Amino acid sequence: MSHIDKIDIAARKKVAEIFYKKFMELNEEISKEKPPKLEIPMRTFANTEFDISKGILKLGIKKIERNFLNMNESKKFMQTLLMASIIYQALVENEYPTIRDLYYRGKHTILYKDLNGRLKEENTWEEQSESDASIRDVEVMLGLLREDMLILSKEKGKVVGNMRIRSGNDVIDLSKLGHGAYAIESTPDLIEFLDYDAEMVLVVEKDAVFQQLHRAGFWQKYKALLVTGAGQPDRATRRFVRRLHDELKLPVYILTDSDPYGWYIYSVFKVGSIQLSYESERLATPKAKFLGVSMSDIFGYGTKKAYLSEEERRNFIIKAKDLDIKRAKELTRYSWFKSKLWKREIDMFMDKKAKLEIEAMASKGLKFLAFQYIPEKIQTNDWIE
Amino acid sequence: MSTEAEEKIKAQEKYREMSIAEFFAKNKELAGFSNPTRALYQTIRELVENSLDATDTHNILPEIRISLKELEPATEDKPAKYEVAVEDNGIGVPPNEIANAFGKVLYSSKYVIRQTRGMYGLGIKAAILYSQMTTGQPVFIVSSMDSSENIYYRKLLIDIKKNEPIIIEEGQLIKKNNWHGTKVYLTLEGDWTRAKPKVIEYIKRIALISPYAEIIFETPDNEIFYFPRVTKKIPKPPSEAKPHPHGIDIEQLKSMISFTKTKTLLEFMTEEFQSIGEVTAKKFLESIGLDPNMNPKSLIEKGNSKLLQTLSAGLRTYKGFRPPRSEYLSPIGEELIEVGLKRLFNPEWVKAITRQAKAYEGHPFIVEAGIAYGGNIIPSEEPVLLRYANKIPLLYEEREDVSYKVVSSINWKIYNIEEPMPLVVLVHVASTKIPYKGVGKESLSEVSELESEIKNAVQEIARSLRLYISKKNSEHILREKIVTISKYIPEIARSLSILSIHPDKWGSNGKNIDKDLIEKLIKIVSKSVEFPKIDGKEEDPEKVVRSVIANVKLEQ
């Protein structure tokens, strides 16, 4: 690192202190010859709660004790400590490891003697899935996200719009990136929002549609910050969207395919994922609105006219597969999909057994999508929350 | 020889007026001399058992030297010729008895009940007869008693027709040292190649059961099997006992009456039987309607066979007699069985038990059992069974034996013993009358009292073994637990050492592993484990913990 910016250094110092404090406690327990244990909030569905007031998925209060003296937990205990020590070391030494780096840094061979006195070998971990699990343990144990710990992951999300940010020591104008876009960095909390001229955030599921809307000049015309998570959004994109909503008070609209998968992507932005519910507190945007494509957009409902003609429906609609039906049924179990509008949406899907890709709207004409469909829906509040 | 065989012999003598030696010569399979292989085995066996009877029964620590030499190799129509020589340090034979003791079948001075290896030395005479018949060579005996100033030697043959010794050569030497004992040289036809496995097995088993003996065996292959003495403890020798009335049959009764010096039946009862006082004798005689004052000899006179039968039946069934006395028995003892099993198998675990004396048909008996487990025992589908009767190993007819029936019916799984099992089960039956199944004296009958005693003995030890194995298993599980946990101690200490350096104190020197942390973790893991006590000892957990991480480099 040629130079370290102030935000970065401050973040490191704060997080390193949290590590130090927590593990000195363990050190002291060991000095008193007490059985070493770590308290880790449970990361299971059973310990996942939907916080109605906040509208997000949260980890419950259940904690597990990871005891070194329990032979079923000894290895995980070691792995958690090992991971913590590597992350701590990287923090103090101003490094930005990726989760892959952490896997390699921690992977080494432990030597020991078995009961017959033979020298045996065992790796600290074999698969990256093991070291990733240790990262999650450290996250929940310390109440920190990997982004807080300056751990990098592959950048996936993108943003364009009338906005200037500071990333590291650079000021970046998100409106001056040509046909490209700003890749949302792994540590979105280190981004400083400088100024902006926008009235809403539009998140589109698909990168291709993002590019089309960008080239069509959508964000200029409607004063939008255009974001994509390119499919299932990564944590950085979700955190970035959350910050836009929280700090700039901008409404967030989400545009996905019209199918259970698209709904789930919306759900992840809105309430968080079940697997990673511990991060929802900081990643979820409970007020995010599902803009479309909705079933009523395709088929119409009541007085609402369908956006597609009979012939277009014949051409664009894809028959739902068994897996889609199964997913839809699963979604009805979650409380945030139990609202009246969502019930109507899912019922229609079950009834028609039809799904639609957002590209279908674009093939009706990019202008239709960018300048008619999206603005009209926003203006008429034709969205589901 | 079983009583059955003896009776057969006696019966033959009676009816055909054939000498007992002649009968023996013609029915050699009865005494275990059916072929050259068996004959060689049997000859060694008879001599060794005679030697043991001449030593341990008289409180002498036995030193037995067995040597087998091939004199002539086998030809197409003749088996090989061998010289067997067995020497002991026993009491020796009085010089005037040597010829009869070795040269007259059924020679015995008195009629008593006693737990001995052989019966009346019949076997040795069979061996001599077999030798004489196959090679024509005389037996050569050298013997000296402790008190004697001379060493006596005799070379003799048996006159088969007359059942009398023919002395070929005799003499005496002045004893220059304090040697006492007997050495017997026999020449016979045999088949060593075939007999070898059994003979060696026999010697091993004899050594097992007599760990207080020193045994040397020189084979014709110039091998030497040497079993040193591993203990000086000798089992209490058996003492002679008067017979118990329940165990006497009509033939024995007749024999006793003919030998007795008593004048009245009452006196006969109290003098010739064990544990019968005047009161009991009177009550008994009254109950069968016999006159206490009648002369016992009159019962064997002609015309009195009814009365004799009444007495015989009464003796066997009368409930008022005290149970047979067991102090006449000489068990090997738990300690010696354990020592013997340890020596031969070097097992992981061994235990023996001597049961209380019991009786069947008026004959007292004691069952002893031993189990050896693990160690050098080669695992197999069923336990190795070592059978002994009156300290003699039984090698043949295993599946006919009551012990086999008992041992093979045990479900070893309930004792935590998995197949294949490294298990040796030893069963010893000591009795004044061993209930042999056949004339070969190689297996014991399924006498119910005996069977249940064997079962109780084996099961009692098996229960101890189960306890041992389950403790051992739980100890093993704990040891594995220590390994599973302890192997991470260095890594945890290293990680925690790093995490315990404050960011402000982060320096180049700061990343060494904290040795105190390792010591504390070792203490914590050690404290968390408590090993079970096995045979009064328990493992130190800390030792195990340290051994797991010993030689593991702690520096990065």
Q: Do residues A263 and A374 both lie within one domain? A: yes
Q: Do residues A249 and A368 both lie within one domain? A: yes
ipTM given for this complex: 0.72
DSSP, collapsed to helix, strand or coil, labels residue B151 as strand
Instruction: Answer whether B496 sits within 8 Å of A26, measured CB to CB.
Output: yes
Closest CB from B528, B548, B553 relative to A113: B548
- In the block, which residue shows the tokens 């040269």? B103
Dmax over CA atoms of chain A, in Å, equals: 82
**How distant is the Cα of B338 from the closest Cα of chain A, in angstroms?**
28
| CATH number, residue A191 | 3.40.1360.10
- Specify the pLDDT at position B556: 45
Residue B62: C-alpha distances to residues A285, B95, B231, B239 (Å): 97, 21, 11, 19
> Is residue A30, in this structure, part of any structural domain at all?
yes
Architecture of domain B245-317: Orthogonal Bundle (1.10)
- Whether A292 contacts A377, CB under 8 Å: yes
**How distant is the Cα of B506 from the closest Cα of chain A, in angstroms?**
8
Instruction: Answer whether B517 sits within 8 Å of A27, measured CB to CB.
Output: yes
- Specify the pLDDT at position B101: 84
Closest CB from A23, A35, A69 relative to B500: A23
**How distant is the Cα of A116 from the closest Cα of chain B, in angstroms?**
10
| CATH number, residue A128 | 1.10.10.10
The total of structural domains in chain A comes to 2
Q: Own/partner pairs for B507-516, CB < 8 Å, 24+ apart?
A: B511/B556, B512/B555, B513/B554, B513/B555, B513/B556, B515/B554, B516/A31
CA dihedral (B277, B278, B280, B284) positive or negative: positive
Give the span between the Cα atoms of B1 and B119, in whole angstroms: 7
Q: Do residues A88 and A183 both lie within one domain? A: no
Cα angle A360, A364, A369 (rounded to 5 degrees) comes to 85
What CATH number has the domain spanning B3-227? 3.30.565.10
Residue B517: C-alpha distances to residues A65, B20, B489, B542 (Å): 21, 89, 9, 15
Domain boundaries, chain B: 3-227, 245-317, 334-465, 487-549
Q: Do residues A363 and A240 both lie within one domain? A: yes
- Specify the pLDDT at position B13: 43
For residue B498, the chain A residues in CB contact (below 8 A) are 85, 88-89
Q: Do residues A94 and A171 both lie within one domain? A: no
Write the single-letter amino acid at A93: E
**How distant is the Cα of A122 from the closest Cα of chain B, in angstroms?**
9
Return the H-helix or E-strand segment holding B14. helix B3-16
Residue of B483, B487, B517 to mutate for A, most A C-beta atoms under 10 A: B487
- Specify the pLDDT at position B12: 47
Provide the annotated active-site residues of A. 104
Give the span between the Cα atoms of A312 and A315, in whole angstroms: 5
Return the H-helix or E-strand segment holding B378. none
Q: Do residues A63 and A193 both lie within one domain? A: no
Q: Do residues A120 and A180 both lie within one domain? A: no
- For residues B23 and A38, the model is more confident at A38
Residue A178: C-alpha distances to residues A173, A181, B5, B520 (Å): 11, 7, 119, 62
Cα angle A297, A321, A293 (rounded to 5 degrees) comes to 20
Residue of B494, B496, B497, B502 to mutate for A, most A C-beta atoms under 10 A: B496
Write the single-letter amino acid at A174: L
- For residues A83 and B238, the model is more confident at A83
- Specify the pLDDT at position B187: 97
Q: Which chain B residue is nearest to residue A77, measuring alpha carbons?
A: B492
Sequence-distant (≥ 6) Cβ neighbours of residue A350 within 8 angstroms? A325, A328
Give the span between the Cα atoms of A359 and A317, in whole angstroms: 11
Closest CB from A23, A74, A89 relative to B488: A74
DSSP A369: I
Give the span between the Cα atoms of B226 and B206, in whole angstroms: 12
For residue A20, the chain B residues in CB contact (below 8 A) are 499-500, 502-503
**How distant is the Cα of A40 from the closest Cα of chain B, in angstroms?**
17
Give the span between the Cα atoms of B250 and B309, in whole angstroms: 7
DSSP, collapsed to helix, strand or coil, labels residue A7 as helix
- For residues B544 and A4, the model is more confident at B544
Q: Do residues A213 and A287 both lie within one domain? A: yes
Instruction: Answer whether A81 sits within 8 Å of B496, measured CB to CB.
Output: yes
Return the H-helix or E-strand segment holding B412. none
- Whether A175 contacts A11, CB under 8 Å: no
Sequence-distant (≥ 6) Cβ neighbours of residue B384 within 8 angstroms? B377, B423, B424, B425
Q: Which domain holds residue A31?
A: 6-142
Q: Do residues A175 and A131 both lie within one domain? A: no
Return the H-helix or E-strand segment holding B128. helix B122-135
- Specify the pLDDT at position B536: 79
Q: Do residues A128 and A187 both lie within one domain? A: no
Residue count (chain B): 556
Give the pLDDT of chain B (556 residues) as one tens digit per residue.
Answer: 445 555 555 544 444 445 666 766 677 666 678 889 999 999 999 999 999 989 998 899 999 999 999 999 999 889 999 999 999 999 999 998 888 888 876 654 334 455 666 554 677 888 998 999 899 999 999 999 999 999 999 999 988 888 889 999 999 999 989 999 999 999 999 999 999 999 999 999 999 999 999 999 999 999 999 999 999 999 888 777 788 888 888 888 888 898 888 999 999 999 988 888 999 999 999 999 999 999 999 888 888 888 899 999 999 889 888 888 777 788 999 999 999 999 999 999 999 999 988 888 878 899 999 999 999 999 999 999 999 999 999 998 999 999 999 999 999 999 999 889 999 999 999 998 899 987 778 899 999 999 999 999 999 999 999 999 999 888 889 999 999 999 999 999 999 999 999 988 887 555 678 889 999 999 999 999 888 888 778 888 999 999 998 866 655 4
pLDDT at A323 over 60: yes
- Whether B191 contacts B80, CB under 8 Å: yes
- Specify the pLDDT at position B552: 64
Q: What percent of chain A has pLDDT over 70?
A: 95
What CATH number has the domain spanning B334-465? 3.30.230.10
Give the span between the Cα atoms of B164 and B169, in whole angstroms: 15
Q: Which chain B residue is nearest to residue A29, measuring alpha carbons?
A: B520
B228 C-beta neighbours (distance < 10 Å), count: 11
A115 token code pair: 């009961």
- Specify the pLDDT at position B219: 96
Q: Do residues A231 and A358 both lie within one domain? A: yes
- Specify the pLDDT at position B534: 81
pLDDT at A2 over 60: no
B464 token code pair: 């101890």
**B467-480 core/surface letters (b: 16 or more CB in 10 A; e: else):** ebbebbeebeebbe
B485 token code pair: 């946990």
Q: Do residues A334 and A189 both lie within one domain? A: yes
Q: Which chain A residue is nearest to residue B551, measuring alpha carbons?
A: A112
> Is residue A337, in this structure, part of any structural domain at all?
yes
Instruction: Answer whether A89 sits within 8 Å of B498, measured CB to CB.
Output: yes
For residue B551, the chain A residues in CB contact (below 8 A) are 111, 113, 119
Residue count (chain A): 385
Which residue blocks in B169-304 are alpha helix, DSSP H? 192-209, 250-259, 265-272, 278-288
- Whether A299 contacts A352, CB under 8 Å: yes
- Whether A233 contacts A265, CB under 8 Å: yes
- Whether A106 contacts A124, CB under 8 Å: yes
